[in-house]
Structure 1
Amino acid sequence: MKPAAQTGKVSLAFQEPVYIQSAASIVGKKEGEGPLRDCFDMVSEDPRFGTDTWENAESTLQKETAVLAIGKAGLKPSDIRMAFAGDLLAQTIASSFGIADMGIPFYGLYGACSTIGESLSLGAMSVAAGYGAHILCATSSHFATAEKEFRFPLGYGSQRPLSATWTVTGSGACVLGNNPPVPENTENASPLRHENGCVAVTALTTGTVVDFGFRDSMNMGGCMAPAACDTICRHLTDFDRKPSDYDAIITGDLGVVGQRILFDLLREKGLSISSIHHDCGLLIFDNKSQDTHSGGSGCGCAASVLAAFILPRIVTGQWKRVLFVPTGAMLSKVSFNEGESVPGIAHGIVLEHIQLS
């Protein structure tokens, strides 16, 4: 393949498409009761996924999602050249203890809730550079592990403010490659090829850490919205495009509060995306009936919504070009307890419908 070309200050344009050969999503019971219930590959009624700890549950969740994505591509784990995966836990133990068993060369990532964007970016660059014909990109989160890691154990019974989001128990995984998915009506056909149409990554905008001084870890949307605004603006500038050049601009998990802030920040720059904007944290839950306060969050939020909801709409041509902008709040227990602010980051991924002959 031809290498990617630098475009503007922080973006890359792929001279040849990097194809998404397959995608898979597995979520927990609460997520399976939401608006996307019929879109996910699997909904688990058991929050521990057959294990004895929350951390092992998340490792199992991510591994099973990765296995499913690899199988959908008609491949075996031994066919995967590299895996880029991450999660919210210290030392990314959900990923390293899960995917590690598969024997795939592994890079552990931490981009908070934006990790699927980081994974897709590095995976697409690797494919375009010729470093592997098949790259696995995966991430996960679990409500119970996140509460234990960043907030309070569930048994504590802490009350959550209305600005808080609900960490998604879910995982999403994609296999990237330099060839289109296997055609329909053939052995090992991929669900991500429909009537000779498929999805490809065509461009990237790498996020910059943006710190507005927010110190409220219970308002992730407020912490991440400035980063989403920054990446969207940089992307449009680098490619000399307008919001109307996209059928949808989809952020990771800003929720109700973050979405409002994003619209305000963009309005100050003379931009409006409200007519084409979606947020994964608002898509995955029904706030009226599920009471998740500001919406969903976590690494598994954007990843599972991408695999279950976004990619199928691009495959069929319902959306021709989408700017996918997963967002992350870059905090840790140590930084928070020491009174540091919560900076944000957002990565931009251009996903396009490719019509094959």
Structure 2
Amino acid sequence: MTQRCGDTLLFRTPPVIAAQAAVGGKKEGEGPLAAAFDELSSDNRFGQSSWEAAEKYLQLRAARLCLQKAQLPEEKVRLVLAGDLQAQCTASGYAMRELGVPFAGVFGACSTMAETLGLGAALCASGAAEHLLAMASSHFCAAERQFRTPLSYGAVRTPTAQWTVTAAGCCLLQPAGPGVPIAAATFGRVQDYQVRDINNMGAAMAPAAASTLLHYFADTHTEPQEFDCIYTGDLGQVGSSLLRELLAAEGLLVKNHVDCGCILFDAAEQQVKSGGSGPGCCAAVLCGHILPRLLRRSQKRVLFVATGALMSQTTFLQKESIPAVAHLVELRAPEKESGA
């Protein structure tokens, strides 16, 4: 049974993340979370003919690794919820062309992983789906070509800019059984603080993260200190600082916040400026870093809040401001320790 409290869905019989996998590229393999990935490649093309095809491969490989770990044949997958940054979610569409299972494309920009998890959990909890894959990806080179400038242009990156992560993460959701329970999901409201700098996504997205967290705390009558960690993705260093300021203005002093974009790379050594970003950033950190901690029970209860900037290449060129949204899922450790 699912209970609705304001903007939050409470799953009285929580669906579970039964398996997960993360795949990354060269820069991700040089970062502090390299060991968290199931598979890494030193070739960011992954043997493909284009950056866009490489991202398709990322998604397909993450999905198949996840199913392999779950020992579940592809034909038993009932639905895939997936998204990416490419126009019309083409990386996801082309990946699912090869997987050949029911597919619903989801776009939430960098918030896509939390969005697919929340929607997937609701479908599983209602009895509408089982053996459901929730996944997201991004690729640095494909994203730069689409939203900013081609790599060969050699543009100088500003201190507020973030580095789009080349990675994919995939979770297998089941209505019940062993795994990490999804206790709740909060779908965010679009926020727009009139930020127009495409090289400062953290400033555009921080208000959305604050809004969703405030709604979740009000809906569930909880406080930040009740959680082992509040993970956001991907605000980077600039957005993380702004989030803490926005929450402090509401009387919440958050000391247990970690941003996926700040821990996937070493900002100083890897020259990623404010940190990592992209749907693949928080998807990979979730699958490779957060879920294993919950399975080992080194953390018992966490919030996973993914944020997304909802502009397009066209609206950016039209000098529009950047609206953003954040979606949240509450994750808990299983009652007994499970293998990671």
Q: Which range, TM-score by smaller chain?
A: over 0.9
SS of the residue corresponding to residue 140 of structure 1 reads strand
Please report how far the alpha carbon of residue 180 of structure 1 lies from its aligned counterpart in structure 2 after TM superposition.
2.0
SS of the residue corresponding to residue 13 of structure 2 reads strand
Give the letter aligned to residue 93 of structure 1: T
TM-score, normalised relative to structure 1: 0.93
Matched, 1:12 2:9: yes
Matched, 1:93 2:73: no
Q: What is the match of residue 151 of structure 1?
A: 148
TM-score, normalised relative to structure 2: 0.98
Give the letter aligned to residue 38 of structure 1: A
Matched, 1:293 2:276: no
Matched, 1:325 2:305: yes
Q: What is the match of residue 115 of structure 1?
A: 112
Please report how far the alpha carbon of residue 356 of structure 1 lies from its aligned counterpart in structure 2 after TM superposition.
4.8
Please report how far the alpha carbon of residue 179 of structure 1 lies from its aligned counterpart in structure 2 after TM superposition.
2.7
> For residues 105-148 of structure 1, what are the alpha-carbon distances to aligned partners after superposition, in whole Å with 9 as ceiling and x for unaligned?
00001100000011001110110011122100011000000000
State the alpha-carbon separation in 2 of the partners of residues 88 and 218 from structure 1: 16
State the alpha-carbon separation in 2 of the partners of residues 130 and 284 from structure 1: 35
Matched, 1:33 2:30: yes
State the alpha-carbon separation in 1 of the partners of residues 334 and 58 from structure 2: 31
Give the letter aligned to residue 293 of structure 1: K
Which stretch of the first structure deviates more once superposed, 215-224 or 198-207?
A: 198-207
Q: What is the match of residue 43 of structure 1?
A: 40
Q: What is the match of residue 236 of structure 2?
A: 255
Q: What is the match of residue 178 of structure 1?
A: 175
> For residues 294-321 of structure 1, what are the alpha-carbon distances to aligned partners after superposition, in whole Å with 9 as ceiling and x for unaligned?
0000010000000000000011111110
Matched, 1:23 2:4: no
For residue 133 of structure 1, the aligned residue among 112, 130, 150 is 130
Q: What is the match of residue 185 of structure 1?
A: none
Give the letter aligned to residue 286 of structure 2: L
State the alpha-carbon separation in 2 of the partners of residues 314 and 52 from structure 1: 38
State the alpha-carbon separation in 2 of the partners of residues 133 and 166 from structure 1: 35
Give the letter aligned to residue 314 of structure 1: L
- Alpha carbons 1:100, 1:106 under 8 Å: kept: no
For residue 281 of structure 1, the aligned residue among 261, 269, 275 is 261
CA RMSD of aligned residues (A): 1.0
SS of the residue corresponding to residue 56 of structure 1 reads helix
The unaligned stretches of length 5 or more in structure 1 are 182-197
SS of the residue corresponding to residue 251 of structure 1 reads strand
Give the letter aligned to residue 50 of structure 1: G
SS of the residue corresponding to residue 326 of structure 1 reads strand
- Alpha carbons 1:140, 1:172 under 8 Å: kept: yes
Which runs of structure 1 show a deviation greater than 3 angstroms over 4 or more consecutive aligned residues? none
- Alpha carbons 1:20, 1:180 under 8 Å: kept: no
SS of the residue corresponding to residue 175 of structure 1 reads strand
State the alpha-carbon separation in 2 of the partners of residues 63 and 12 from structure 1: 30
Give the letter aligned to residue 329 of structure 2: I
Matched, 1:240 2:240: no
Please report how far the alpha carbon of residue 100 of structure 1 lies from its aligned counterpart in structure 2 after TM superposition.
2.2
> For residues 319-355 of structure 1, what are the alpha-carbon distances to aligned partners after superposition, in whole Å with 9 as ceiling and x for unaligned?
1100100111111001111111001110010000121
For residue 67 of structure 1, the aligned residue among 64, 67, 86 is 64
Give the letter aligned to residue 277 of structure 1: H
Q: As a proportion of its length, which structure holds more helix?
A: 2
The unaligned stretches of length 5 or more in structure 2 are none
State the alpha-carbon separation in 1 of the partners of residues 216 and 309 from structure 2: 20
Q: What is the match of residue 99 of structure 2?
A: 102
Please report how far the alpha carbon of residue 91 of structure 1 lies from its aligned counterpart in structure 2 after TM superposition.
0.6
> For residues 167-198 of structure 1, what are the alpha-carbon distances to aligned partners after superposition, in whole Å with 9 as ceiling and x for unaligned?
000000000002323xxxxxxxxxxxxxxxx4
State the alpha-carbon separation in 1 of the partners of residues 102 and 120 from structure 2: 13
